[in-house]
């Protein structure tokens, strides 16, 4: 209502223009014009009658939106801080994992070196045992071969002596006598 009194001249001029246009039949009253005029009057009356409550509603809504935005900004800041802490924690985990990886690689390398040394020592022992076993077998074989050769030689000498006993007996006796004289 206060607004209506402030703009008296505007309202009076608008009313006169409307009456003049109506009297000259420039504005023809059909249902569309009547509905538009009714809506315009309703909006003006509603605005003047409920101006304070509409203003209060808009102010309350503005304050509510402002509070929601502040809460959202606080939550956003907290979320960013948490994400930053998680990021720092993940960086710490990455460095820890790198250190663990380096330690594991060193342990694997040292255990591999130890396994290689143990394998070499084991293989050397096995090789020495095999060589000793082969040497013992060789000695046994040489001894057996020597015995067999000796027996074969004795047997062949005896066989030869038995076959040629008549011609060899006088020679052997002469050689034995010659040996005894020396």
Q: What is the pLDDT of residues 57-83, one digit of tens each?
A: 889 999 999 999 999 999 999 999 999
The distance from CA 147 to its chain's CA centroid, rounded to whole angstroms, is 74
Output the furthest CA–CA distance in the chain (Å, rounded). Answer: 189
Collapse the DSSP code of 1 into the 3-class scheme (helix H, G, I; strand E, B; otherwise coil) and give the result: coil
Q: What is the pLDDT of residues 132-159, one digit of tens each?
A: 999 999 899 999 998 888 888 888 888 8
Q: What is the pTM of this model?
A: 0.40
Task: Fill in the DSSP letter of residue 30.
Answer: -
Q: What is the pLDDT of residues 36-52, one digit of tens each?
A: 888 988 887 777 777 78
Residue 116 burial (C-beta neighbours within 10 Å; 0-12, 13-18, 19+): exposed
User: Domain boundaries in the chain?
Assistant: 2-72, 150-181
- 161 pLDDT tier (thresholds 50, 70, 90): confident
Q: Which contacts qualify for 51-59: CB closer than 8 Å, 24 or more apart?
A: 51/2, 51/3
Note the helical H segments in the chain.
2-6, 8-23, 31-49, 51-163, 165-181
């Amino acid at each position: 209502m206060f607004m209506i009194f402030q703009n008296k001249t505007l309202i009076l001029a608008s009313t006169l223009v409307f009456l003049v246009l109506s009297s000259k039949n420039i504005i023809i009253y059909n249902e569309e014009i009547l509905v538009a005029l009714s809506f315009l009057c309703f909006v003006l009356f509603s605005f003047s009658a409920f101006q304070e409550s509409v203003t209060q509603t808009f102010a309350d809504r503005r304050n509510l939106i402002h509070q929601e935005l502040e809460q959202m900004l606080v939550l956003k800041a907290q979320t960013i801080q948490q994400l930053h802490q998680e990021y720092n924690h993940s960086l710490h985990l990455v460095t820890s994992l790198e250190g663990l990886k380096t330690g594991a690689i060193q342990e694997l390398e040292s255990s591999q070196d130890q396994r290689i040394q143990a394998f070499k020592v084991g293989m050397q022992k096995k090789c020495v045992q095999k060589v000793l076993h082969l040497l013992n077998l060789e000695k046994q074989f040489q001894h057996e071969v020597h015995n067999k050769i000796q027996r074969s030689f004795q047997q062949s000498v005896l066989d030869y002596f038995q076959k040629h006993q008549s011609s060899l007996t006088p020679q052997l006796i002469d050689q034995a006598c010659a040996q005894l004289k020396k």
